[in-house]
Amino acid sequence: MSFQQELESVKETALKELGAIKDSAALDSFNTKYLGRKGIFRDLSSRIPQLANEEKGQAGKLLNEFKNILAQRIAEKEPDLKSAPQVSGDLPDFTLPGEDKNIGRQHPVYRTLADICGIFSRMGFEIAYGPEIEDEYHNFTSLNIPLNHPSRDAFDTFYLNLKTEEPKNERTGKEAESSSVEGGRWLLRSHTSPVQIRVMQNRKPPLKVIVPGKVFRPDKPSPKHFPMFHQVEGLMVGEGISFTHLKGILDVFCKEAFGASTEMRFRPSFFPFTEPSAEVDITCIICNGKKVNENNESCPTCHGEGWIEILGSGMVHPNVLENVGYDSEKYTGFAFGMGVERIAMLKYHINDIRLFTENHIGFLSQF
């Protein structure tokens, strides 16, 4: 084999080897093997002086070309290998569909809660929070709820047998006695209304707050009842606050929450902590107040009434204002409270409150 033929075959092998290289370490050893100090190129060059004189010129030229080609190909390959991920073994199949990561979503109750808070925040209400473990004074006594009121009964409230210090009566600072009117038994709050008291005890009017949170009642679970649910309480106190303000604020809320064509009405009611008190109904969001469905049957959601109740409200009772040390001759206010699950059930057509706590992916992923 002539020197020239030998060179051709070395070149062919070298380019094949180079083509198969997949990482920069292999490229380095390839470089050393061919162009290194003891490399193949050096070896071939050292044989030129032994060639016949007429062969020397051509052989030197071809050898140089070979060196340049190798150097150029190595330089071209280098950046590709550096940026490519260094994978050993078989390459993954990049054409396979990606893995779908389930990132979850907001629970329908919390979504409804956030929507409600959003509507009132835009009307200038601040958000306030209070403890879920309350004392009897805040949950009942300060709210003008008399001792014989059924909601104070053990059937309607979770009382706790805590061995900690008895809560003090906030107003008198006296140790509360377990069975007294100002009794200091600990309990799980049965509504968010005690936070009205906590806010007013800490602040001077004017104030405008909403209170989202969990409440607890020892109700047997059923499609409409669950021992834990959520409420949003509202309170606005200042000079010259009247029922008109309550109506204006709630009308905006109903239209924002249930749609611009929603109408609201007040229905006289009774709550110990408001006077006068009223329940608020909206036009049924299923039959739009028509009382019947498309088949002319009585609407099952509003039972053919055309209206559904969504919250309780009223003007803050003067006794409640006096209980927190506000001058009830100078200041007036309104309050309201609504059940969040009830509103979520109406909005999303859910017929069983227990679904909210069962953690069924099939249920939750619909929202």
**Site for ligand DAH, rule CB under 6 A:** 191, 193, 233, 271, 274, 312-314, 335-337
Closer residue to ligand DAH in complex, CB, 18/188: 188
Query: Please, what's the b/e burial string for 285-318 (b: 16 or more CB within 10 A of its CB; e: otherwise)?
Result: bebebebeeeeeeebebbeeebbbbbbbbbbbbb
Closest CA to 265 of 242, 289, 286, 287: 289
Closer residue to ligand DAH in complex, CB, 232/302: 232
Q: What distance in Å separates the CA atoms of residue 173 and residue 236, rounded to the nearest whole number?
A: 27
Closer residue to ligand DAH in complex, CB, 39/272: 272
Say how many Å lie between the first and final Cα of the chain, rounded: 79
Any bridge partners for residue 159, and if so which? 187
Closest CA to 301 of 288, 315, 311, 286: 286
The edge-to-edge listing of strands for the beta sheet with 126-127 is: 126-127, 207-216, 228-238, 332-339, 307-316, 274-283, 264-271
Classify strands 307-316 and 332-339 as parallel, antiparallel or unpaired.
antiparallel
Q: How far is the CB of 234 from ligand DAH (least distance, A)?
A: 7
Q: What distance in Å separates the CA atoms of residue 108 and residue 349, rounded to the nearest whole number?
A: 12
Q: How far is the CB of 165 from ligand DAH (least distance, A)?
A: 27
Any bridge partners for residue 282, and if so which? 264, 308
Q: How far is the CB of 314 from ligand DAH (least distance, A)?
A: 5
Answer whether the bond into residue 223 is a cis peptide, omega within 30°.
no
Q: How far is the CB of 246 from ligand DAH (least distance, A)?
A: 9
Q: How far is the CB of 269 from ligand DAH (least distance, A)?
A: 8
Q: How far is the CB of 347 from ligand DAH (least distance, A)?
A: 19
Closer residue to ligand DAH in complex, CB, 145/285: 145
Q: How many CB atoms lie within 10 A of CB 163?
A: 5
Q: How far is the CB of 344 from ligand DAH (least distance, A)?
A: 17
Helix (H) or strand (E) run with residue 333 in it: strand 332-339
Closer residue to ligand DAH in complex, CB, 56/245: 245
Closer residue to ligand DAH in complex, CB, 130/314: 314
Q: What distance in Å separates the CA atoms of residue 165 and residue 262, rounded to the nearest whole number?
A: 49
Query: Nearest to ligand DAH by Cβ — which residue?
Result: 337
Closer residue to ligand DAH in complex, CB, 18/190: 190
The letter for the amino acid at 31 is N
Closer residue to ligand DAH in complex, CB, 39/318: 318
Q: What distance in Å separates the CA atoms of residue 111 and residue 364, rounded to the nearest whole number?
A: 12
Q: How far is the CB of 230 from ligand DAH (least distance, A)?
A: 11
